[in-house]
Chain A
Amino acid sequence: MPEAVISADALDLTFQTNDGPVQALSDVSLDINKGDFVSFIGPSGCGKTTFLRVIAALEQPTGGQVTVNGMTPDEARRARAYGYVFQAAGLYPWRTIEKNIKLPLEIMGFSRAEQEKRVNNVLQLVDLEGFGKKFPWQLSGGMQQRASIARALAFDADILLMDEPFGALDEIVRDRLNEELLKLWARTEKTIGFVTHSIPEAVYLSTKIVVMSPRPGRITDVIESDLPRERPLDIRDTPEFLALAHRVREGLREGHAYDE
């Protein structure tokens, strides 16, 4: 029995808005095991990003329980359990790439020598050696997003939470980054939570695909992928891959059927 790193039990979250309460999450229960690559997929408003933010203690659930490494999300955050990658790269424009990656290290009080070492390490990991002294605007969108992944990796948390990190990039860049992310995952053995609205991306990357649906945000299907961990890009043309993609699509359609 593999150990659950992230465990959610009957999670509820209701936002109070001007138009009345909105149930963003309803009865969400899920276990994420160590080393898993879990994708959350669903239409907008299904609560996939909200769920990731609850895990990261950026939102407080209104009901249910969630633990990260056996702690509350707040405690886990203070224990530096996870790195978070946002939809946009979110690099600070007045800091060079190097200094951006150092930002969490400065706050967490790493020594200067250690900071240098880690920056070089992660720059190599995301294939950005030699770009440390550049300002963000001097890099392409894909490179900026790689830098933001490097920043999330810098303090070596076991969990990486990624909220549609490649959503704003074009298909070609996205394919490459997907491939690189898989290699990175294999090398670092991190547990990854990944929000996306792309079916091929979810199937290509994940060991576990969580299909969600809106109003109220809930999990409709959890699909364990039987694809091998080593995945070249052309695995996407195999029948196994297409069968998985089909099941995800069916799950998404079913979720929508409630509305119509």
Chain B
Amino acid sequence: MSAVEAQPPCALCMAMRRITMAILPVLVVVGVIVAIWYAAAYGMNRVSTLDTAERRGIEISAAEVFADTMAQERPRLPAPHQVVTELWNTTAGEPILRERRGEYQPNPRSLFFHAYQTLAPTLLGFVIGTLAGLILAIGIVHNRAMDMSVMPWAIASQTIPILAIAPIVIVVLNAIGLTGVVPKSLISAYLSFFPVVVGMVKGLRSPGAMDLDLLRTYSASRSETLFKLRLPASIPFLFASLKVAIAAALVGTIVAELPTGARFGLGARLLTGSYYGQTIQIWSALFMAAICAACLVALLGLIERTTLRRMGLDR
């Protein structure tokens, strides 16, 4: 064995190797998805390319057909790079504020501006929904009448198509003078309270008979039992619920923007995109929504890890 071979591999090489091993499978999956997407884009857009060529009476080669399917202005399915370009142009390529008549106003061509228009009611709705869910869950756990009566209604509320009641809510709230962020956030709260109720009822009931007996031997009151046992025990359940709730809140806001003719927001962007056949705009709005959801869930995950570590529950 030579001296060079006998040397242990350097720490940096080992770290690089580990990272490569971790990332490689992810890259492979993403690569496969992108490849399928390109193939699908070619398949779906080919017909219109050929139609156009026929109308103009020109012969085009296979290579030209392929090139055209990747670069149509209004493709049935935009190619990945078209969506990425659109995303780049409408975020990095457009200022969030623009100057008009001497003052700075939000720029409706910036996707960041639309994302903000959607995120603000999402976060407000998430907070309202979480608080409502918490209060309902505490009521359900402590009151038999609420246990019997609230849960069926909560479940029923989720079976109503949100798309059907969103316009009603918006119109009713408009009639009493509520416009802008509040109606949107109420609809997002309507979707996000439910996972919190379900998760927290389970979480608040998670302490075992012995944990509860222990507090009984101290003659602890119901509120002491809630704050010293039930709530801390339910924290892991809370975070699981919050992750579902925040995604639901985002969907709620976007849906609230759809049937009401909102001018700003990711939902509005989807709507105008479909009016004018701007599929690239629709897809980039969809991706922006997905990116927002991923960021929110990741942020919650970070808060979860920190909280559980401080509580000694992260084992």
Contacts and interface: CB of A to CB of B under 8 A. Distances in A.
Interface of A: 56-58, 77-78, 82-84, 86-88, 90, 92-96, 103-104, 106-108, 135-137
A94 B311 contact: yes
Contact of A58 (B216, B220, B311): B216
A8 B66 CA distance: 93
- Choose among B213, B220, B312, B313 the residue with the greatest number of A CB atoms under 10 Å from its CB: B312
A84 B217 contact: yes
A126 to B, nearest CB: 17
Contacts of B228: 92, 103, 106-107
Interface string B217-247: 1111000100011001101000000000000
A93 B312 contact: yes
Interface of B: 210-211, 213-220, 224, 228-229, 232-233, 235, 311-313, 315
List the 4 shortest-distance A-B pairs measured between CB atoms, nearest first.
A135-B312, A94-B311, A84-B217, A107-B218
A88 B213 CA distance: 12
A58 B312 contact: no
B207 to A, nearest CB: 9
A96 B218 contact: no
Contacts of A136: 312
Contacts of B220: 107
A77 B312 contact: no
A177 B214 CA distance: 22
Q: Is the interface of B mostly helix, strand, loop or mixed?
A: helix
A90 B216 CA distance: 13
B312 A94 contact: yes
A100 B217 CA distance: 15
Contact of A90 (B210, B232, B312): B210
Nearest to B315: A137
B232 A92 contact: yes
Nearest to A86: B210
Contact of A78 (B211, B219, B315): B219
A58 B311 CA distance: 30
A107 B215 contact: yes
Nearest to A89: B210
B214 A84 contact: yes
B224 A107 contact: yes
A90 B218 contact: no
B313 A92 contact: no
A77 B213 CA distance: 12
Given A82-B217, A92-B211, 9 more contacts: A57-B216, A58-B213, A77-B216, A86-B213, A92-B229, A92-B232, A94-B232, A94-B235, A95-B232
A104 B218 CA distance: 6
Contacts of A90: 210-211, 214
Contacts of B211: 90, 92
A86 B208 CA distance: 12
A96 B219 contact: no
A190 to B, nearest CB: 15
